[in-house]
Structure 1
């Protein structure tokens, strides 16, 4: 599950972190929580939160909220959704308490909510994990309205961009839910709204056009998808790589063009051409997991199971952190089942390796052992 960023820069909606020297100046031992989250050590986060709470180590209201946020994220990552809901509801029931003006001795001259945005996002997303998808959609639309009210009141450029990023995140969440119901018309309208709003960021626009093309493919509008992907090619042609950061961005954008071209070839069942496009991506960036995964799938469709398996296994050996995700493993296990009579033994070996290196939230059932 993709969650909003929970770094220290987004701990609160009005917090100014420019004057702090480290994450730990903002909240008790926050850097440790950050490190555990980056490593996917979600069970350790639960332990750390429990220790901080039992030891009365959290002295300010915003510290309680930050630890509660990490706890809710960890529970969600571990698919303990009912417990995550219980955490989020603690905040929902006490929203008035978590306002700066209610604690003037801690936050003089501050006002507004100190609730981290990730809790608002979880409040919207979690019902869908408990069999209530329509409730999630309703909450996401309410959250979108809340964000747009903030945008209309933002006077400074930096906070406005923060809220703009959140608006994009929520709209993408809404699109994902509508896609699951095959409500493509709504998705198209939402995507076009997003694209119209991205007037200054060519990279963000390219990514949005790519998503629009993908949605168009979902309901068979091949010409529309080609047009959307064509817009991206025009954007990428204008990019210049004059420093390391710009070169990295250019590589990612060129790979986006190649992957979109390959996707069109896959729709037309021209798998050999798709493989060439994906190989260009891999030659440019050997850690492009999407290209690696899809190249292997194309080889499988071409009945070259031996090479498709080699592509997947080599990626797991070279870039385990990037390649180790459930979709990648499901595809590899499907190839094992097609290629080998003793696939159960091979999958058990893979499962043992995953148990040693995977983050806590990895779903080991994807091996289908």
Structure 2
């Protein structure tokens, strides 16, 4: 659903840029709490979220390269807002998807640079906010189990995609550069993106379920949701004794193992599996072509990038060129994303440490 340059006029693009910048600023503040714990300490799980956040951004980048067929001549791909919000929190999730969109726009000419505000508003903010609100509402009424978290992830991701289609339609109604009836745009966008939402839901639920199965404490949306283990004693069910926390070194090693598996998976998906992705246009591209929305599309400012269109320039073999581009994209995204989240957490940690340091005379 990457909006290219020329779909939306300059005034509305500028307004969405301001909205996106404000949302990113708010997310930076919120992410400090998610990544660095509370102001009274750093023990609320942020120390586990920080290393995972960069990986989530890289994983979303990799999976977005895997277009899957949804209808005749149309494909879809992960948007990632629901996945990011549930794994690392809504504020950090907005930043994760925004980092991915920035890397795609600058390096791969995917999504217009003048439309970056539109894309962040639509693909990062809308999907993350809608998905997390739906997710939190569901986990409050469902049983407190891991399966419930996975099921809630499925529904939240499913609804987030047509919500993004609705927001794009609203933005187009305000600033579209072509004269296409909004009713036609709305029907086409929502219709195809409901189908794409099914794919988004499956990917999100499978990923969240896989992480919960290994390290439920790393899933932001699962914290405090698992019901206590029950034991039958004398014919009555009683709470089992709380498990002794694993040593810090063991937890750190386990986190590194999850991170290592995740980054290897992302590299394989982007570097190898992406070659077999659907070549059909995605939902927005198909609707834009069929309805004439793309009549005034302009050339991307990064069209001469050596990685444009997810292919390394001057590499003759298409499979190798695409695979190398995917690997480079994962590497750059994880480095940039991890750097951003490390800086955010460090900024949160320093004032907290200062509060615990006695004043000296």
TM range (shorter): under 0.3
TM-score between the two structures when normalised by the length of structure 2: 0.27
Which structure is higher in RCO with an 8 Å CA cutoff and minimum separation 6? 2
TM-score between the two structures when normalised by the length of structure 1: 0.27
Asked which structure has the greater CA Rg, the reply is 1
